[in-house]
A and B are shown apart, each in its own frame.
Chain A
Amino acid sequence: MQDFLQLIVTGLVIGSVYALVAMGFALIYKSTSIINFAQGEFVLVGGYVCWWLYTSLHVPIIWAFLLTMVIAVFMGLILERLMLRPMIGEPIISVIMITIALAMVLKSMVTILWGTMIEVFTPPIFSQQAIHLGPVLVSEVYLWTFGFAFLFLGVFAAFFKFTRVGISMRAVADDQQVAQSMGISVKRVFAISWSIGALVSAVGGILVGNINGINIALADFGLKVFPAVILGGLESIAGAIIGGLTIGVLENIMGSYLDIYLGGGVKEIAPFIVLIMILMIKPYGLFGIKEIERV
């Protein structure tokens, strides 16, 4: 029982980072209808940039963190302007191909710049000291990760609910033409969506990088976002968050209980087994588009 609780807690922590990255993915999909296959590479770039600033350039961590966020925002803006805006109105398959190409380019650039070795934040930012939470032992870095992930989720939830820019972004997601008829610039909303998508992914990269270290495999972390958003429903930001948490817990539990029978590696594939099952049983996910119908 204690093991089980332990698995749930650590699963929730990783899940909270999935949730954060998935929120970025869902946001881009919802407002621009683009499936961004480079989401994982945004995670990768964010992790590496922060590590590089902190470990190689000795920038204090707070500044490294903020600077990484700024760089991510600019990366999102520039990519949107140069690669995606010219594609408005082109067939969706071309746009998806562009994001796949973008993923390859970003991954290669990271390899060229920083190699393929596992790098760790030195000196460590958060201590690995274990803390007792009731019956469960959690290391401090996990608590920080969970805290930061939820801080960002909370900030963006409030942003979409209460600020005028957030409301206008939801308006564009709902009906682009009507949003334009009231003077909302759809192009600007697209740009903001991409920069937020890149920002939250970069934060996710920094958080996971602090737990496991950073290498090129961080991009695969982004792939886990797909099961999360499919589970939650592609269009739903709340769904992405719940999907992220669920996938985090599920992979942890399945990995730990099934590895002995199947010889390891279950944790890596568990999310994708869930992905296939969801697509077969409930293709729109738990919170996918439910067109409101008045009776």
Chain B
Amino acid sequence: MPLLSVNNIEVIYDDVILVLKGLSLEVSQGQIVAVLGANGAGKTTTLKAISGLLKTEEGEVTDGSIIFDEVRINGLEPEKIVRMGVFQVMEGRRVFEDLTAKENLIAAAHTQRCSRRELEERIEVVYSYFPRLKERESGLAGYLSGGEQQMLVIGRGMMAKPKLMMLDEPSLGLSPLLVSEIFEIIVKLNKELGTTILLVEQNARMALNIAHHGYIMENGKIVLDDTTEKLKNNEDVKRFYLGMTDMGTKRSYRDVKHYKRRKRWLT
């Protein structure tokens, strides 16, 4: 039994806009699973359907089921889902700007019934992964740099000690150096704390390098899924997501026309 299984779900926004059309995916305990896809494919919607946050923006899971830890969670309030051990780190480094870095971490442990001392210990664990946050702990989070803010939102996720952490584009808008730093930490979290990770990314190369299993999404559906080893060698993934041609050289503009035609089999 996988930790999370999403079975054939359909998501509708505002009662009319069909965003996910029968999407299924599975995440096993202890894995890193990556979901790749272009803008508007429905990756973020998938995460929000799992975490229950869809409700806050007029979205609804109208069909299918989401099973976490052998319990059906679609339809539950987001607080309940967090308490069960699912934590979504939202896209775009949404720190609480008017709170200090430390207060951001404390707020994230809201669902945890732990003593003050235990809370401080957990904050220390976060600082051990992100030493830079300790230096900036009493500064307002709004003034942190982009990289530090990304560290802070991941740190917030750690505070809730989730079984499943869902990361929505952690590489967005960061320099290549920071991106690899963040990805190293994601791997470390998975190995050392045993946190299962569902990663949504546009940076396909990075994501496929750290994940065990990958899903490729287009237009609200999964079109391809396999172990990352196999995905990395898949001709289409190479061409459309990793930007390489058969010869390992950059593809020419003429081949772009080819793209649409080739892609049709995927959908």
Contacts and interface: CB of A to CB of B under 8 A. Distances in A.
A168 interface: yes
B83 interface: yes
Interface string A158-185: 0000001001101101111111111111
Given A167-B99, A174-B96, A174-B99, A179 B142 contact: no
B140 interface: yes
A186 to B, nearest CB: 9
Nearest to B57: A177
Contacts of A175: 94, 96
Looking at chain A's contact residues, the main secondary structure is helix
Nearest to B97: A292
A292 B53 contact: no
Nearest to B106: A167
B206 interface: no
Contact of A178 (B77, B94, B142, B145): B94
B143 A183 contact: no
A176 B78 contact: no
Contacts of B77: 185
B56 interface: yes
Nearest to A294: B143
Contacts of A178: 90, 94, 96
Contacts of A291: 97
Interface residues of B, number: 33
B149 to A, nearest CB: 9
Nearest to B119: A164
B82 A183 contact: yes
A39 to B, nearest CB: 23
B107 A171 contact: yes
Range, interface on chain A: 20 to 34
A176 B79 CA distance: 13
A179 B106 CA distance: 12
Given A167-B106, A176-B56, A183 B78 contact: yes
A292 B141 CA distance: 9
A186 B57 CA distance: 14
A249 B99 CA distance: 32
Given A180-B56, A181-B53, A184-B107, A171 B96 contact: yes
Contact of A183 (B56, B103, B106, B111): B111
Interface string B134-163: 000000101101100000000010001000
A175 B104 CA distance: 11
Contacts of A167: 99, 103, 106-107
Contact of B143 (A179, A181, A292): A292
A224 to B, nearest CB: 27
B78 A294 contact: no
Contacts of A164: 106-107, 109-110, 119
A170 B83 contact: no
B44 interface: no
B51 A181 contact: yes
B108 interface: yes
Nearest to A235: B98
A173 B97 CA distance: 11
B108 A182 contact: yes
Contact of A170 (B56, B99, B108): B99
Interface in A171-227: 171, 173-185
B151 to A, nearest CB: 15
Of the candidates B83, B87, B107, B146, the one having the most CB atoms from chain A within 10 angstroms of its own CB is B107
Nearest to A295: B143
Contacts of B5: none
B145 A294 contact: yes
Contacts of B83: 183
Contact of B110 (A174, A184, A292): A184
A170 B143 contact: no
A292 B140 contact: yes
Interface in B91-127: 94, 96-99, 103-104, 106-111, 119
B111 A182 contact: yes
B31 interface: no
A178 B156 CA distance: 11
Contacts of B87: 181-182
Contact of B79 (A170, A183, A292): A183
Nearest to B80: A183
Nearest to B99: A170
Given A167-B103, A171-B107, A183 B140 contact: no
Nearest to A292: B142
Given A182-B156, A185-B77, 12 more contacts: A164-B110, A167-B99, A171-B110, A176-B56, A177-B56, A178-B90, A180-B53, A181-B87, A181-B90, A182-B160, A183-B160, A294-B142
7 contacts: A164-B109, A170-B98, A171-B107, A180-B79, A182-B82, A182-B156, A183-B110
Interface of A: 164, 167-168, 170-171, 173-185, 291-292, 294
Q: Which 10 A-B pairs have the closest CB atoms?
A: A292-B142, A183-B82, A183-B111, A171-B107, A174-B96, A183-B79, A182-B108, A178-B94, A292-B97, A184-B110
